[in-house]
């Protein structure tokens, strides 16, 4: 089924309750993956869909699946997904779209009460989103009594491959109904995923909406800094100070994180506001007007909320968390370095995220340079140099002349200069510990260790899979 560029969600034949959810979520027209996948899913076809995170694929499989639900009391839709964060996000998104239809969702992952998860599922949830490790544990123990999903989705399949979950997934499918519809979504489809697809899908339709030939702007300088997870906020604050960011967008993964981070930045004296999809349109407009008019310096946003922003003088883009996929990195960085102006892109990564960083480098072709986070002394020296440069360029104001004449009656010139400079320097109070992040020597040791350990069956990600699920 081919739909034109002016297609609507009504054209799919979704029920009124789902269409109300779509409208409340702010979706206006279907994205490419939604246009192509929804009709096939609604026809009951198995699907292999190649699409990046952030392209609307949750709605693509979620809307079509919810439209066919019988609400029999059984789990009808199962979404298997690699990480607990994504499991929670997908669960929230499906609930938001299906709440007017009475759809109930449960996210199942490690680190939560097993009995509570079982209780929530048994109360009549139609949708379960789950990480492989915890799901397999539930299935092997026979805890789920009304678990007969007629539609099963493998989301971020290539990520599950990279994290060593393929054996768990194969085991999970031994517990699932033989008569089912299976959908596989993946940013890339390597040979191992193709082999898996042949064993769990029947006569699948193949869809590919990944963009070809994306590249970052040539006037953007790309940097990354390696930190421990607990250092994210301190690292961001230090880099904002060090870079003297005049107008910056800080990208977060979740709406909650944007709210928390913007509140933290405001409490530390920065001019910041959050922008995310749960805000009313008038609130979004107010935030964007403030940012465009330079009333605020820092915009803390999610990927979805920042789509379509057209601001030509953004000096910096900060990735508070590395994006879920390389395409998102390209889109994020596209907010700076516009209209012939230069820009700086800064990404915070932990040692566990080097793999994702390498994917971004390969996909974007961007030379992302490693740097150490400056210590307090380095930031102060940089700030002093900035003050001197500005003083050289600053025109003399008539009011300043008047103040100088009046002060010179009681103080000599050197005292006036020292006190004025002291006021300027006092405004720049460098916050946090002296050292933040890993040193270049630490990073080299980790990379060397990873290179030595890397093998198909013995990778540091693979050995850690149970903890991450």
Mean pLDDT by 10 residues, the chain (469 residues): 62 95 86 93 95 79 95 94 86 95 94 90 93 94 91 91 88 95 90 92 92 65 94 94 90 91 93 87 83 92 68 89 82 77 92 87 84 87 77 84 86 84 72 82 77 48 37
Same domain, 132 and 265: no
Residues 198 and 53 in one domain: yes
Do residues 157 and 33 share a domain?
Answer: yes
Rounded CA-CA distance 128/107 in Å is: 6
pTM over 0.85: no
User: What pLDDT does residue 212 have?
Assistant: 59
Last residue of a domain, one of 208, 238, 268: 208
**Total structural domains in the chain?**
2
Write out the two tokens for 16: 């009124």
129 assigned to some structural domain: yes
Q: Are residues 149 and 245 in the same domain?
A: no
Q: Which domain holds residue 332?
A: 220-373+435-458
Q: Residue 429 falls within a domain, yes or no? A: no
Q: Are residues 198 and 231 in the same domain?
A: no
- Of 150, 179, 208, which closes a domain? 208
Residues 263 and 125 in one domain: no
Considering only CA atoms, give the Rg of the chain. 26
Task: Choose one of 188, 208, 228: the last residue of a domain.
Answer: 208
In a domain, 95, yes or no: yes
Whether residue 246 is found in the same domain as residue 144: no
Domain membership flag for residue 398: no
User: What is residue 203's predicted lDDT score, i.e. its pLDDT?
Assistant: 94
Residue 20 maps to a domain: yes
Angle between helices 326-333 and 354-364 in degrees, nearest 10: 70
202, 267: one domain: no
Q: Are residues 104 and 172 in the same domain?
A: yes
Question: Which residue in this structure is represented by tokens 């949750």?
Answer: 58
Spatial distance between the Cα atoms of 178 and 153, rounded to a whole number of angstroms: 14
Regarding whether 181 and 67 lie in a shared domain, the answer is yes
Flag whether 307 is in a domain. yes
Q: What is the CATH number of the domain that holds 124?
A: 3.40.50.300
Measured between alpha carbons, how far is 308 from 331 in angstroms, rounded to an integer?
Answer: 10
The pLDDT value given to residue 101: 96
Q: Residue 118 falls within a domain, yes or no?
A: yes
Residue 428: its pLDDT value, please? Answer: 65
**Kind plus residue range of the DSSP H or E element containing 319:** strand 316-319
> Residues 302, 254: contact at Cβ < 8 Å?
yes
* 256 shares a domain with 197: no
Whether 4 is covered by a domain: the verdict is: no
On whether both 447 and 312 belong to a single domain, the answer is yes
């Amino acid at each position: 089924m081919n739909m034109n560029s002016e297609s609507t969600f009504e054209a799919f034949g979704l029920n009124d309750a789902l269409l109300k959810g779509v409208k409340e979520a702010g979706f206006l027209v279907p994205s490419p993956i939604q246009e192509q996948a929804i009709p096939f899913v609604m026809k009951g076809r198995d699907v292999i869909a190649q699409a990046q995170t952030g392209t609307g694929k949750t709605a693509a499989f979620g809307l079509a699946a919810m439209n066919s639900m019988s609400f029999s009391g059984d789990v009808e839709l199962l979404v298997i997904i690699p990480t607990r964060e994504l499991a929670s996000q997908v669960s929230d998104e499906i609930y938001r779209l299906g709440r007017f239809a009475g759809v109930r969702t449960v996210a199942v992952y490690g680190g939560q009460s097993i009995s509570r998860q079982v209780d929530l599922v048994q109360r009549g949830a139609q949708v379960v989103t789950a990480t492989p490790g915890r799901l397999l544990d539930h299935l092997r123990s026979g805890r789920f009594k009304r678990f007969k999903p007629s539609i099963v989705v493998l989301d971020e399949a290539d990520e599950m491959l990279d994290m060593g979950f393929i054996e768990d997934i194969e085991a999970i499918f031994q517990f699932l109904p033989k008569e089912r519809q299976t959908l596989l979504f993946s940013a890339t489809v390597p040979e191992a995923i193709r082999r898996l697809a042949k064993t769990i899908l029947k006569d699948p339709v193949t869809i590919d909406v990944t963009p070809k030939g994306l590249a970052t702007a040539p006037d953007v300088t790309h940097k990354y800094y390696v930190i421990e997870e607990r250092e994210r906020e301190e690292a961001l604050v230090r880099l904002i100070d060090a870079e003297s960011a005049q107008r910056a967008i800080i990208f977060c993964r979740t709406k909650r994180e944007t709210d928390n981070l913007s509140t933290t930045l405001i409490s530390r004296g920065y001019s910041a506001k959050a922008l995310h999809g749960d805000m009313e349109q008038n609130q979004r407009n107010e935030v964007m007007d403030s940012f465009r008019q330079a009333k605020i310096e820092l915009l803390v946003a999610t990927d979805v909320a920042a789509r379509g922003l057209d601001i030509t003088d953004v000096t910096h883009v900060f990735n508070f968390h590395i994006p879920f996929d390389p395409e998102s990195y390209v889109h994020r960085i596209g907010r700076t370095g516009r209209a012939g102006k230069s820009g700086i892109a800064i990404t915070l990564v932990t040692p566990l995220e080097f793999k994702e960083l390498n994917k971004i480098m390969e996909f974007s072709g961007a030379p992302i340079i490693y740097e150490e986070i400056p210590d307090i002394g380095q930031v102060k020296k940089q700030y002093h140099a900035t003050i001197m440069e500005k003083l050289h360029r600053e025109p003399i104001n008539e009011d300043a002349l008047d103040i100088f004449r009046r002060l010179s009656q009681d103080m000599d010139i050197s005292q006036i200069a020292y006190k004025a400079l002291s006021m300027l320097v006092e405004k720049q109070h460098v916050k946090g510990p002296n050292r933040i992040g890993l040193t270049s020597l630490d990073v080299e040791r980790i990379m060397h260790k990873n290179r030595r350990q890397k093998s198909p069956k013995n990778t540091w990600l693979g050995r850690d899979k149970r903890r991450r699920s």
